[in-house]
Amino acid sequence: MKNIFLFIAVYFISCGPSNKLKKYYTPEDASVFELVERLAKNSNDNAAAQLLPEAYKAVLAKRQPLTAADFGLLAPGDRYLRLAKEWGVMLQLHDKIIATPAAKNTVPQPWDPTFDIAQAKTSAAKEFYKQGLQDLNIDNRQAARSALDNFNKANSIIPGYQDVRNLIREATEKATINVIVRAANYYNQSWDYWGFQNDWLQQQIISDLNSQSFRDVRFYSDWDANTRQVRADRIVELNFTELYVGQVFNNRSSTKRSTQIETGTTNTTPPKPIYQTVYATVFTNTRYMQSRATLECRIYDLATGNNLLYDRFPGNDDWRIVTATYTGDRRALAPEDWNRINNNTNQQPPSRAQVADRLIRNTYNLLISRIKNGVQFGS
C-alpha cells in the first residue's frame, strides 16, 4: 500500500501541478509564494524572513484541517480529488521552502502532505469504483456509460485499481450501440454485372464510421455481427434505386469557315495590300455518355423501427469528347477548330465498370458527409 501511495504522489507531482493548481491559489498562498521568492533572490531580506512564518502558519491553519466533507456539494470521488488538489498547493509550498535555504531557516519543518494526498486520491479511486459498480447494476445503456466514466476515473487515478480493467470492458460492452451495415442492394443487379470482384461500399462505410468520434458506437457488417454474435441496435440499409450507365451517342455537325488573307501588294504608290478569301469546312463529332445513380439509405432503430435517417443521394457522371476534321484551306480555321482537330487523347469512352464505380463513389460521398454531420446514433 505504501508503494501505491508513493506512486500516486510521484505521478501527481510529475504532471506539472504548478500549472494545474494555480487556479486554487488564495491571496494568502500567493503571499507565501512571493515571500519565498524574495528570499530566493535575496537571502538577506529580513522583512520577508520575519513575515514568512506567520504567513505560512495562516495558510497551514486553513488547508491542513480540510476534509472531503468540506466539499459536500461535489460527488464523493470528486470531493477527495478536490481535497488532493488543495493539499497539492501545500506540497508546492513545501517544495519551494525546502529548496530555498533562507526560507527553510525561518520555516524549518513545512508540512509535507505527500502521504495525505496519496490517501485522498486512493479514497477518490475507491469512491469512483463504488459508484461505477452501482451504475453497472442498473440495466440500461445510460447507466452503463456512467459506470464506464467512473471506472475510467478510478483507473486514471490508480491504474489497474482492483479489477477495474475487467469492469471497464464489461461497462464498455453494455454501453456500446451496435450498428449493423447490411450489404448494398444494387437495384436487382449483381455486383459482378458491373465488372467488380467484390463490393467495397459496405466495408468502406464501416471503416469510415468506425474512425469517427461517435461515442460508444461500433459498426459491423452483417457477416461480422453474425460471426461475433453481436446484438444489433441500429440497422443501416443501402439500396441503389437507380444505377444507369448510359450509351455512347454521336452528334455530328459541320461548320463553314472563311477568312481573308493577304497575298501580296499592288504596284501603286503607295502600295496597297491584296487579299484573297480562303474557305474550309470543319466536321465536328461530339461523343457523349450520360449516366446517373440514386443511393437510398435508411438508418433505423431495430427495437422501435424509428428512422434516424431516410433519404436519397443522387450522383451523375457525364463523359464528353469533341473531335474534328476539316477539308479546304487550313488557313481559314479558327483556334478552337485546331483544339478539336488536335484532340487525339482520351478518345475511348470509360468502361461500364468505371462509370458505375464513379457513380457509386459520388453518391457515397454525399451520404457519408450527411451521416457525419447530421446523424446521432447514441441515445
pLDDT at res. 1: 43
Match 454501453 to its residue by C-alpha cell: 175
Shared-domain flag, residues 169 and 186? no
Last residue of a domain, one of 125, 147, 173: 173
- Residue 100 backbone class (left: φ over 0; alpha: ψ -120 to 50; beta: rest): beta
Last residue of a domain, one of 142, 173, 204: 173
Task: For residues 284 and 1, give the distance between their C-alpha atoms in angstroms, rounded to a whole number.
Answer: 89
Task: For residues 97 and 113, give the distance between their C-alpha atoms in angstroms, rounded to a whole number.
Answer: 14
Count CA within 13 A, CB hemisphere, residue 84.
26
Shared-domain flag, residues 140 and 241? no
- CATH number reported for the structural domain that contains residue 188 in this entry: 3.30.160
pLDDT at res. 185: 87
pLDDT at res. 212: 79
pLDDT at res. 379: 60
pLDDT at res. 191: 59
Cis amide leading into 273 (omega within 30): no
Match 453474425 to its residue by C-alpha cell: 226
Last residue of a domain, one of 125, 157, 173: 173
Let me know: does 65 contact 116? Beta carbons within 8 Å.
no
C-alpha cell at 298: 435508411
pLDDT at res. 318: 94
For the chain (length 379 residues), average pLDDT per consecutive 10? Answer: 41 48 92 94 94 95 94 94 95 95 95 96 96 91 91 95 94 90 80 63 91 84 89 92 91 94 88 92 94 95 93 95 93 92 81 90 95 82
pLDDT at res. 214: 75
Look up the pTM and report it.
Answer: 0.66
C-alpha cell at 217: 458506437
Shared-domain flag, residues 200 and 152? no
Shared-domain flag, residues 163 and 226? no
Shared-domain flag, residues 144 and 261? no
pLDDT at res. 10: 39
User: Which residues of 73-196 form beta strands (DSSP E)?
Assistant: 177-181
Shared-domain flag, residues 167 and 181? no
- Residue 169: which domain range? 2-173
DSSP state of 159: T
User: Which residues of 249-272 form beta strands (DSSP E)?
Assistant: 249-265
Domain count, the chain: 2
Shared-domain flag, residues 187 and 335? yes
